[in-house]
Each structure stands twice: as structure tokens, then as C-alpha cells.
Amino acid sequence: MVEVRWTEAALEDLYRIGDHIAEDSPGAGEYTLKLRSSTDVLERYPGTSRTIAELEDPKLREIPVGNYRILLLHEEERI
């Protein structure tokens, strides 16, 4: 099992996304939660993310969620 860790910068971005969505939609909190929880599966199945097409580093991966994508740095025991 790997550890999934969100950086402070990533969490700040996530909350800014939530604030931006909230300007047009009252369901922003739910969408922010969906973005955050989309990484939960990585603890058990770290290979479920995909490589980023425009980058050539296999450690840099992504999970698409709606109109957004979560970018990951996939190391041996930590994401």
C-alpha cells in the first residue's frame, strides 16, 4: 500500500477551485470533495493513474476528474 499525500500548494489550489466553482454553482463543496476523494483509490491501486501525454517522465501522472485533472508525482511508496 502506498501513502497518498497532498501538498499544501495542491490543497490551496483545490480550495481555490472550489471557490471559483461556487461563484456559479452551490454544489461546489461536493465537487471539491469529489476531486479530493478521487485520489483515495491510489492507496490500494497506485497504477490507476495515467501518464501525462505531454510529459515524458513516467513518475508524473494524472487522474482526470470532469474538466480538471489531478497531477501526481508517483514515487515508490508515496504519491
pTM of the model: 0.77
In angstroms, the CA 67 to CA 64 distance is: 8
In angstroms, the CA 67 to CA 59 distance is: 22
Q: What is the pLDDT of residue 31?
A: 79
- Three-class DSSP category at 11: helix
* CB-count burial class (<10 Å; 0-12, 13-18, 19+) for 14: middle
For the chain, the domains span: 8-73
**Which residue bears the cell 491501486?**
45
pLDDT tier, 33 (very low <50, low <70, confident <90, very high otherwise): confident
pLDDT at 72 over 90: yes
Q: What is the pLDDT of residue 12?
A: 92
- Give CA 54 to chain center in angstroms: 17
Record the cell numbers describing residue 4, joined without a space: 497518498
